[in-house]
Chains A and B, each alone.
Chain A
Amino acid sequence: MDFSILVSDFWALTIDGLVVGAIIALVSLGYTLVYGVLRLINFAHSEIFMIGTMTCYWVVQRFGFTGYEDPLPLWKFAGLFLLFGFAAAVVSGVAAVILEIVAYRRLRVLGASRLSSLISAIGASFFLVEVFQKISGAKNLDFPRLISKDTLFEFQNAYITQDKLLVIVGAAVIFYILNRVIHHTKLGLGIRAVSQDERASILMGVNVNRIISYTFLLGGVLAGFGSAFYMVFYETTKANVGFLIGISAFTAAVLGGIGNVKGALYGSFALGLFQQYTSAVLGYNWKDVVTFVILVFVLLVKPTGLFGEALQKARV
């Protein structure tokens, strides 16, 4: 136990926790959206994120960076970021839709148990990781430094840099747009309708298959943007990058109340901050233990997560 770091570097830990939380949130939303409409854990979602990071890498590689040049001027970076960010979003989105068709659709139509879908997703996850392992030569891929990470200003011992601001502000913009989409568009209405009652939605003439495809698309797009931020912040990826972040994102979704979009968002930030603080106080290696202990306590007090589920209850 060492609280001195938590005191002296509180704001540094907080800023980093927010950055990590924002990236986790973008992945976590995919879990929660799919859970909302299908009541199943999209186990291969972490691989959708991985595909996004790979897309970012390949797009940027086209420009022939060596990694030794100075960071780009801001406008050039903005252009490039939008390019690979949207490319990742599109590729991840499409990959998520294909995943749904290949791994889930038939099982859903047959009305198979949700565990069957889970195993199908695990198979898909193995497949994707190994395929990209093969393509990337099982190496960590290096992403060039595109944006300066020099300190913009110092705040209470915390160094604020452009990339951190980019992630936090960018994620906030995406969350705002997502909120508009869910609450003020027909698609959002469809998603909410299917989440509440699939059968009633069918009776009301909702094309459920299409709504589910759109939900996967939306989840994939969000993961794609998340992967772009991830690449700017961490500057490396590999075929099994999805595993750790996938577990964090899933945990965050459960913490907030799976199926609940707002819950996933707050759950992710809570998780990001909390892990940052506990690794400072207890050591990095204990953070997962503490996280799960806290999770158990939260769920015992509030069995459906901090913000509750969108629906009445989760069932296997």
Chain B
Amino acid sequence: MKKIISIVSASALAVGLTVAVTPSAFAACGGNPVIYFQGAQTGAYQETGINEANGVILAIDKYNATNPAVKVDYKVIDTQASGTQSPALAKKVVDDECAIGVVGGMYSGETINAMPIYEGGKVPVISPSATNPALSNKSAYFHRVVANDFVQGPELAKIALRVSKRLFIVDDATPYGNGLAKIVASNAPKIVVGSDKVTEGTTNFTSVVAKVKAKKATAVFYGGYYPEAAIFIKALRDNPATKNVKFIAGDGVLDGEFIKLAKKNAEGAYLTAPGQPMAKVAPALEKEYKKKFKREVGLYTLEAYNAAYVFLQGIKAGKTTRESLNTWLADATVKAVGQTISFSSTGDPFKLYMNEYTIKNGKMVWVGSLL
């Protein structure tokens, strides 16, 4: 009996091995080229990710509707904005013979970790919203349509210098929030009176407010995302001593949800974003989006749309391989919606946009262009 078992198991394993080592043939792409979107579709950051994915889908559907010679498919990979998940997903994109380009990643961390894989697979990447300066010059395959935080930070610092003489800096200890806060601090060193670091998910800002009060700051800069920013600004406004402190923050806070959460406390906040205001530069597209997806546009919907649009122009010009598309990107100048896009050798866009916003009567209001 024992012997039989051992023979059976041994032969089973042997068969398994032969099956295993049979090489599998790779087929060349048989269908349409595919543009991937990389970002969060589930989890805590899904809102931003879905808004961007929809922008990509809109661009591709519009393109296919014109009956082009080469139709384009899209696929969405869900990283949950996590740097541990993005490499394995990126590898699958690279393995897909039909993958021709990636719009993404949504955040910088997931993009940094996935970039070596994309580079190895020679897949061109255009990010609509990863603004970390560390991505500049990282790879010949990385491009982005937004200005990085080395552009946004100094502009935020200028706003701080304009409205205040005593600035208190708070960040959420994420690569984005902390990175931006450091750039702001180094560009306005004379007026910084103190700083503190919270964590994502913090609700208790009372000790931070006590510090703002004790340092007699007249403005705070918050590096982080809107949920904590809303709680922070409320805590500031509720304390009589910090009621009138000016609130300055970057694109992570500029979101309709910020107003919804902070209510009238959000009024008068100083906000910036490297993106173009969609309602202003592309009202028709915004309507189309609302009709198609039955939801409001997000901060980077337009950028995602434009990133996909750039790829589509390349495909239209006959660049239907990864390599040729990437080479084409280096010199191309694309007049996208509300933005003319061409990439410098670092992958950053030549024409930079930086806009200032504020919140008035519960609405996000465009103040002006900063560049």
Contacts and interface: CB of A to CB of B under 8 A. Distances in A.
A54 to B, nearest CB: 15
Given A139-B47, A236-B230, A280 B261 contact: no
B197 interface: yes
B285 interface: no
A9 B213 contact: yes
Given A151-B240, A236-B231, A243 B206 contact: no
Given A9-B210, A12-B206, A234-B204, 10 more contacts: A9-B213, A16-B206, A16-B207, A68-B264, A138-B43, A138-B45, A142-B260, A280-B207, A283-B197, A284-B202
Interface centre among B44, B173, B203 (most CB of A within 10 A): B203
Interface centre among B44, B173, B198 (most CB of A within 10 A): B44
Nearest to A245: B203
B263 A145 contact: yes
Interface string B324-361: 00000000000000000000000000000000000000
Interface string B214-234: 100000000000010011001
B201 interface: yes
Contacts of B227: 140, 236, 238
B238 A161 contact: yes
B95 interface: no
Contacts of A312: none
Given A142-B261, A236-B227, A13 B201 contact: no
A5 B198 contact: no
Interface string A263-290: 0000000000000100110011100000
13 contacts: A9-B210, A13-B207, A68-B263, A133-B43, A133-B44, A139-B257, A140-B261, A142-B230, A159-B239, A240-B201, A276-B206, A279-B208, A284-B197
A139 B226 CA distance: 11
A4 B214 contact: yes
B215 to A, nearest CB: 8
B210 A137 contact: no
A8 interface: yes
Contacts of A244: 199, 201-203
Contacts of B290: none
A244 B203 CA distance: 9
A210 interface: no
Contacts of A198: none
A9 B257 contact: no
Interface in A143-184: 145, 149, 151, 159, 161
Contact of A240 (B44, B234, B238): B44
Nearest to B362: A68
B46 A138 contact: yes
A243 B201 contact: yes
B62 interface: no
Interface string A1-21: 000110011001100100010
Contacts of A303: none
B92 interface: no
Contact of B196 (A16, A159, A234, A283): A283
Interface of A: 4-5, 8-9, 12-13, 16, 20, 67-68, 133, 137-140, 142, 145, 149, 151, 159, 161, 234-236, 238, 240-241, 243-244, 276, 279-280, 283-285
Contacts of A5: 210-211, 214
Interface in B292-328: none
Give 8 closest A-B pairs by Cβ, nearest first: A16-B206, A285-B197, A279-B207, A140-B227, A5-B214, A67-B263, A9-B210, A234-B203
Interface centre among A13, A20, A145, A279 (most CB of B within 10 A): A279
A139 B241 CA distance: 31
Contact of B44 (A138, A151, A235): A138
A284 B198 contact: yes
A283 B215 CA distance: 14
Contacts of B204: 16, 20, 234
Contacts of A16: 204, 206-207, 210
Interface string B178-205: 0000000000000000001111011110
A243 to B, nearest CB: 7
Contacts of A279: 196, 207-208
B43 to A, nearest CB: 7
B99 to A, nearest CB: 28
Contacts of A9: 210, 213-214
A8 B210 CA distance: 9
A17 to B, nearest CB: 8
A297 B164 CA distance: 44
Contacts of A240: 44, 201
Contact of B240 (A67, A68, A159): A159
Interface string B80-93: 00000000000000
Interface in B244-276: 257, 260-261, 263-264
B262 to A, nearest CB: 8
A13 B240 contact: no
A149 B43 contact: no
B77 to A, nearest CB: 18
B263 A142 contact: yes
A243 B44 CA distance: 13
Nearest to B225: A140
B196 A284 contact: yes
B196 A235 contact: no
Nearest to A137: B47
Nearest to A154: B240
A37 B32 CA distance: 63
Nearest to B239: A159
A250 B174 CA distance: 25
Interface centre among A8, A137, A236, A238 (most CB of B within 10 A): A236
Interface centre among A67, A138, A161 (most CB of B within 10 A): A138
B226 to A, nearest CB: 8
Interface centre among A133, A140, A236 (most CB of B within 10 A): A140
A205 B336 CA distance: 78
Nearest to A145: B263
A235 B232 CA distance: 12
A11 B198 CA distance: 22
A34 to B, nearest CB: 24
A285 B214 contact: no
